[in-house]
Structure 1
Amino acid sequence: MPARMPLNRFAAALAGAIALGALMGAAGPARAEEAPRRTLTITGTGEITTHPDIATVETGVLTEGKTAADALAANTKAMNEVFKGLEAMKIARDDIRTSEFSVSPVYAQPPTRPDGAIEAPVIRGYQVRNQVTVTVRKLAELGATLDKLVSLGSNQLGGISFGIDKPEPLLDEARAEAVKDALRKAKIYAGAAGVALGKIVTISESGGYAPQPVYAMKAMAMRDSAPVPVAAGTQKVTSDVSLVIEIE
């Protein structure tokens, strides 16, 4: 025969069950009555225009020889002259970085035989390419630098990219302008819709500053122009933000 629960313990358990049920019943309807939060998502753009203060130049030497060793020796001699010239122009070693170095065979185009067959190409020599990226921090001397590179034997000149050495302060200004732009548009939408704006829920950023490349003329065309005329133009530092704002 099962033991009976003492009366006082039974009463305590029953009271606890009633209290728990009342608590669950009170919490349930409250959650069901919660209305979904209404929000407005809006984007803004900030833009700061400034003049660049640095430029990067892709330059180097391409040499050929009957053997790979001959081509390499000629390339090394020419590149050493380029490095000496850059040092004489007070360009720091930290502002010179090797971006490409390659040794490759050069093939002679074989003649077509009378029967139309094409013979296998024959190696007639080797080619060595040594390319460096140079950062010029004195834009007033950029034209003279380009002319000097060509006169020193640099026969490979790629694009010129202008940039900003320390863009972060300007980017912060663009961020602030982007938020102002987003809030301005949010107020217009809220006013047109007849609602009031609440607190900002989230802010996210996309985009940002990027240097703008400017392509240079061919290196051989620069020999008759000293110093080479170069226009840096202006740079735009931009920031795009997205705001999620509560609607009251």
Structure 2
Amino acid sequence: MNLKLIGIAALCSFSAFAEPELKGSPSELKSFFHPDVKTISITQSAEEIAFKDVAVISMLITTEDKKLAMSLQKNSKLRNDISATLTADGIHSDQIKNSKFSTSPDYGWFGDKPDNYKVANTVTVRIDNELGFQSIAKIVDAHDEVTLINTDFEHSEKDAYIQKAKQSALNKVLAQKDFYAQSLGIDLKAISFNDRSSFEEDDIERIEITGSRIKQASLSDSYQQQSADSSFEKVTYSANVTVTFVVQ
């Protein structure tokens, strides 16, 4: 009987040595069961340069008359004539926009009834070539009721150039990843990424047009003298791409 008890005790002792007990803090045990994954992050940047190729020109159409209905009619007719002229010169109707009109009565010295009614409406035209500029200049020269009030420039392919900059930066990241993989003899697999993009505008030469009602030189003549040496603004699109890879 004593021999049996000794044998059972020996088996229990052997079993205890065969399965050691794990001890430690939760973070230590976690690192034991889930070892840290080795990762590498690669960041690259790229730039794409473009030039603004669309001009947004605003003209103020102002008409006056003693009767409001007549002033409105004059304004509407002039705007229709302007649209017809621009369309005939190759500018699509979708590029011509009319704003909401406003009326402002002119009061005389005595009485509450206005002596005159003024109707103002802004016509905005998007153009992408010099012929469009010349067409608008001729309209401003031909009508005293038309005033050139603002000119802005835009880049028609903004979204495409932002994507182009991102693609260029990403290609640099992938080239760097292949270099590390081949040089170190490791496999890298992408697990996350981050990208940022921006654009900056550089004033190369802005066309500033001012005018008066002196008839010695017309607006169209002055524009033709400027157009040969004029250029739109430069735009620089920047992208910064970071990709994190896991070492397999």
Tell me whether the two structures share a fold, i.e. TM-score over 0.5: yes
- What residue ranges of structure 2 are gaps of 5+ in the alignment? 1-20, 175-188
Query: Are 1:165 and 2:152 matched, yes or no?
Result: no
Aligned to 1:93: 93
Counterparts of 2:97 and 2:72 in 1: how far apart (Å)?
19
**Quick one: percent identity of the two aligned structures?**
17
Which of 100, 112, 123 is the aligned partner of 1:132? 123
Cα deviations by residue, 1:175-211 (Å, 9 ceiling, x for unpaired): 245557899xxxxxxxxxxxxxx96733132434889
Counterparts of 2:140 and 2:241 in 1: how far apart (Å)?
48
After superposition, where does 1:1-248 map in structure 2 within 5 Å?
Answer: 29-31=28-30, 44=45, 46-98=46-98, 100-108=99-107, 123-137=114-128, 139-153=129-143, 155-178=146-169, 201-208=192-199, 214=206, 216-218=208-210, 220=212, 224-227=218-221, 228=223, 229-230=226-227, 231-241=230-240, 243=242, 245=244
CA offset at residue 35 of structure 1?
6.5
CA offset at residue 48 of structure 1?
2.2
In the alignment, residue 59 of structure 1 is paired with which amino acid? M
Sort the Cα spacing of 1:243 and 1:160 in 2 relative to 1 into closer, same or farther, 3 A. same
CA offset at residue 245 of structure 1?
4.8
Cα deviations by residue, 1:108-150 (Å, 9 ceiling, x for unpaired): 4869xxxxxxxx987443221221221213x231441232221
Sort the Cα spacing of 1:151 and 1:35 in 2 relative to 1 into closer, same or farther, 3 A. same
Contact 1:202 1:243 in 2 (8 A): yes
Give secondary structure in 2 for the equivalent of 1:232: coil
Q: TM-score, normalised by structure 2?
A: 0.60
Cα deviations by residue, 1:60-114 (Å, 9 ceiling, x for unpaired): 411122232122122122212211211221111111122x222222344869xxx
Give the alignment's Cα RMSD to 1 decimal: 4.7
In the alignment, residue 96 of structure 1 is paired with which amino acid? I
What count of residue pairs does the alignment treat as equivalent?
204
Q: TM-score, normalised by structure 1?
A: 0.60
